[in-house]
Structure 1
Amino acid sequence: MAKLYGSVEAGGTKFVCAVGDADFQIVEKVQFPTTTPYETIEKTVAFFKKFEADLAGIAIGSFGPIDIDENSQTYGFITTTPKPNWADVDLVGLISKDFKVPFYFTTDVNSSAYGEALVRKGVNSLVYYTIGTGIGAGAIQNGEFIGGLGHTEAGHVYMALHPKDVADEFSGTCPFHKGCLEGLAAGPSLEARTGIRGEEIAQNADVWEIQAYYIAQAAIQATVLYRPQVIVFGGGVMAQEHMIKRVRSKFTALLNDYLPVPDVESYIVTPAVAENGSATLGNFALAKKVAER
């Protein structure tokens, strides 16, 4: 049988595991809730064991923070995550010990950014944000991830507060920082402000304008820091079409023609890979890359 490539999208809510062929077409895919490390990793290993004879490489894109420094004693670990029981878990070590193939380890948003860049012809500079239960971003320049000592943590940059949040003395839900993007614009902030889960809030509610204000600031930061060709917003919060329109409008007003950017409808977009498959596609390509290294 032809070589297969493995993908682990290790999310704080669920794990999505898949194997793909040489053309990065999915052969089999499964998802399950992220419970305890032992139970979740056991299910991950069991899934890939079925394909062990044909696997050439596996890529893991994980929620973070994670240690991606291959020279570090804690390489492959999930580090200071607030997710109960998952801090200081050796994710790569616990999965890789059962396989004799190379592994690639990065963030889930880096995997998504890589997948999005693959399907966008002529794009080699891209920033991908996921706006969901948490917020993270992956940035690519000239086909390579941006990072130094570790991966970027764009979800925890500080924001200019919306006037209503100032009036209400609301500084977000992040347990680490007051006034950061994740605490102010991730899914839990909606319920914290309104007492209503995000999926139950009417589209004309004022809270969406507040949300868009912060997400547009993220797009401004990506623009001035990285000058990408495309900014992609994925995740559950952005699944509603009215949100991307709000963000584009806010972005245009905040940028105020300071820098030239492409037409906003082609510049600030939602994922091109269907069914939240950007990370899986990106992981297939990264697994192939590490297999051929």
Structure 2
Amino acid sequence: MSAVYGAIEAGGTKFVCAVAESPGPDLVTKQIIPTTTPDQTLAKAVEFFRGRSLRGLGIACFGPLDLERGRIGATPKTGWVGGDVVRAFREALGVPIRFDTDVNGAALGEARHGAGKCMDPLIYVTVGTGIGTGVLVSGRPVHGMMHPEAGHLFVKRRADDAFHGSCPFHADCLEGMASGPAIEARWGSPGSALPADHPAWELEAHYLAQAMCDLIYVVSPQRIVLGGGVMNHQGLLGLIRQETRALLAGYVQTLADPMMLDEQIVPAALGDDAGIVGALELAFEAAQASSLTGPPPV
């Protein structure tokens, strides 16, 4: 059996497990495992990889994360706070592992195989069940005290918006006002059921454009890639660009030309595969690091 790289995109609703012979979008096989309890989900994921000759394993996981300990932090996902993700795979498989956020994983995927090639800094923003942001500088994910959590940026409420917000921590932060659950809570229907001319989309663009401006001002990225289920709505990207341009008000001269802003804020090229492709990049890095430092402790 030839050696392969293992990848997991660990999400709040499903774990996508895959193997590939090399980094990139060409997968040998893939399996989707529903996210239930930590014990059940991690055991099923381990079984997917057991018996395969793994060079390394990359895990791009929902968060927030304790990257040093390989655990999940203060997530609203029931039962997963403190989930010891890395330990479960290290003890069962004994292979080199690299662990990062799902959005940092997606950012790596888009940077190396998608819409972010040759763009530095690069930001990936997913808008779905939550709102997450992966930031790459010099091709590497930004870590510090923790990983970026721009989904919890505070936004300026539109004057006619009385919605309380859906974030269990901050109520009306970006995620609380513009995530998929926020759309459903505010309008009584999921975004996928709302028509193109529904007022939800102008309001969504109002909040997401504030985040675009904040990220442009703070990180000065060469490109922002937008993904996630909410971004599948046709027309939303154009509304976000339009609102961002209005909010920037000509301050960033480079983006004053509408065509330049269209190149600055773009859709994900890898679609739903950005996270798993990024996890394969993490697996490759884990294997490379192990070849230099020796195998990890079991």
**TM-score range normalised by the length of the shorter chain:** over 0.9
Structure 2 residue corresponding to 1:229, chosen from 219, 222, 246: 222
Tell me the secondary structure at the aligned position of residue 290 of structure 1: helix
| Number of positions where the alignment pairs a residue of Structure 1 with one of Structure 2 | 282
Tell me the secondary structure at the aligned position of residue 100 of structure 2: strand
Tell me the secondary structure at the aligned position of residue 89 of structure 1: coil
2: CA distance between counterparts of 1:154 and 1:65?
11
2: CA distance between counterparts of 1:2 and 1:282?
22
Please state how far the C-alpha of 1:152 moved relative to its aligned partner. 1.1
- Who is 1:97 aligned against? 91
Please state how far the C-alpha of 1:23 moved relative to its aligned partner. 4.7
Structure 2 residue corresponding to 1:87, chosen from 81, 86, 95: 81
- The gaps in structure 2 that reach 5 residues or longer are 290-298
Q: Which amino acid in structure 1 is aligned with residue 90 of structure 2?
A: S
Q: Percent identity?
A: 41
* 1:140 pairs with 2:166: no
- Who is 2:176 aligned against? 183
- Who is 1:39 aligned against? 40
Structure 1 residue corresponding to 2:285, chosen from 264, 280, 289: 289
Please state how far the C-alpha of 1:147 moved relative to its aligned partner. 2.1
- Kept after mapping to 2: 8 A contact 1:2/1:22: no
TM-score (norm 2): 0.91
Structure 2 residue corresponding to 1:198, chosen from 172, 191, 194: 191
- Kept after mapping to 2: 8 A contact 1:76/1:91: yes
- Kept after mapping to 1: 8 A contact 2:192/2:233: no
- Kept after mapping to 1: 8 A contact 2:23/2:281: no
- Kept after mapping to 2: 8 A contact 1:17/1:44: yes
Q: Which amino acid in structure 2 is aligned with residue 137 of structure 1?
A: T
- Kept after mapping to 2: 8 A contact 1:3/1:22: no
Cα RMSD of the aligned pairs, angstroms, is 1.3
Tell me the secondary structure at the aligned position of residue 129 of structure 2: coil
- The gaps in structure 1 that reach 5 residues or longer are 70-74
2: CA distance between counterparts of 1:257 and 1:105?
40
- 1:1-293 alignment runs, 5 A limit: 1-24=1-24, 25-51=26-52, 54-69=53-68, 75-119=69-113, 120-165=116-161, 168=162, 170-259=163-252, 260-261=254-255, 263-274=260-271, 276-293=272-289
Moved over 3 A (4+): none
> Could you say if the C-alpha distance between residues 121 and 65 of structure 1 is closer, same or farther in structure 2, counting changes exceeding 3 Å?
closer
Tell me the secondary structure at the aligned position of residue 123 of structure 1: coil
Deviation per CA, 1:208-262, whole angstroms, max 9, x where unpaired?
1111111111111110111111101100000122111111111111111111237
Please state how far the C-alpha of 1:112 moved relative to its aligned partner. 0.2
Q: Which amino acid in structure 2 is aligned with residue 237 of structure 1?
A: V
Please state how far the C-alpha of 1:50 moved relative to its aligned partner. 3.9
